[in-house]
Amino acid sequence: MEMLKFAEWRRPNLGEPERLEATVRQVIADVAERGDAAVKAYSQKFDGYEPRLIELQPWDQYPLSDATKAHLRVAADRIQAFAAMQHGMYRDLSLEDTYGSFGQVVKPLPSMAAYIPGGRFPLVSTALMTLIPARVAGVPRRVAVSPSDQPAILAAASLAGATSFVHMGGAQAIAALAQGTCWAEAVDMIVGPGNAYVNAAKGLLQGKVKIDTLAGPSEILVLCDDSVDPRWLALDVLAQAEHDPMALSVLATTDADLLEAIAQAVREELAKFPDKDEGVIQLVLCEERAQMVALANQMGAEHLHLACRDGYIQADEIDHYGSLFIGGHSAVALGDYCTGPNHTLPTLAVSRRKGGLQVGDFLKILTWQQVKPAQFAELAKTGIHLAHLEGLVFHELSLAARLPREK
């Protein structure tokens, strides 16, 4: 844990990725050349088992407690409702003018795969967050892939609408999904978080397959004042820091006494769990409110929590974040599971150019046009002129050939 001033805030060095990328390139090349045999070999080498296709049962038939089943249902229903709201944004549209009819149609991707991590923590919530929006979008083939075959993972994948489940992990799983194997045909999109090798594989294959984002370690930025219990705030930064040793939790305030109280609470909570391997925690003292806002826009955090009095910081002052949590009770940990908005979010300031996973990522908007024959000549004048300007002679002739011949 570091106590910093605003000017001292910085993003930790995540290391040099070149060696890791070279390893992943070799895995991808080998899978492309040897196919299933290479996937089996890497799975045996890294995970100790061969990939296998697991037939999913109805989700409520897995040996889980009644309480677990009930809460999985609550989370799934809320994610479903939010995704359905998003789906309402996308619809077929058309306009008609003097020259004809023009429009768009919205169609789902033919297939997708959700990578569900199973390493340090088997993430059942990831199954819900990645598969449910694809189902709402209407994607017909939805493959769940995970290095874990725990009943809770299988149940969550079934509940979320996976049409198949492959017990397989690592960079070789991403390569297999992009290329196609005996366990699953190639997919059009791969989503979901994973370790550095999985992330590198997604990055290297994104020209061949669509991906959600290249996710770095989990991040949170908390902007706070003394209206929220310091222990709550300490637990908020610890909650995100426990995702990964490279996770980044930043908290900023203008109140020095509050910052010290939060630091003390962090120390007390960590002492209760001496074996916890926490990520980087930075507690930042700002001179004024404007520095807190500036920090938020600089960081573009995956999770941004405004844990302060109503109106102290307005949401529209901040342009860059993966998802925004407003008020002391809008805990980021709740958003990880069951508020409804997706928890698959951009990190490393990628929020400057894209938001989190949503239904629209599984849709494609296709445009169409139908020009009226009687109005072609008038509109073609513009096309012919611009084709001539660009020096594209066959574009020009393609249009000119359709003009009525002068008598």
- Write out the catalytic residue numbers: 302-303
C-alpha to C-alpha distance for 346 and 300, rounded to whole angstroms = 9
- The maximal CA–CA distance of the chain, rounded, in angstroms, is 94
C-alpha to C-alpha distance for 316 and 225, rounded to whole angstroms = 19
Q: If we measure between CA atoms, which residue out of 401, 402, 371, 396 comes closest to residue 384?
A: 396
Phi, psi of 373 (to 5 degrees): -55, -40
* CA 341 to chain CA centroid, nearest Å: 11
C-alpha to C-alpha distance for 198 and 385, rounded to whole angstroms = 50
Which residues neighbour 269 within 8 Å (Cβ) at sequence distance 6 or greater? 231, 234, 235, 238
Instruction: Give me the sign of the Cα torsion angle 44, 129, 270, 2.
Output: positive
Q: How many residues does the chain have?
A: 407
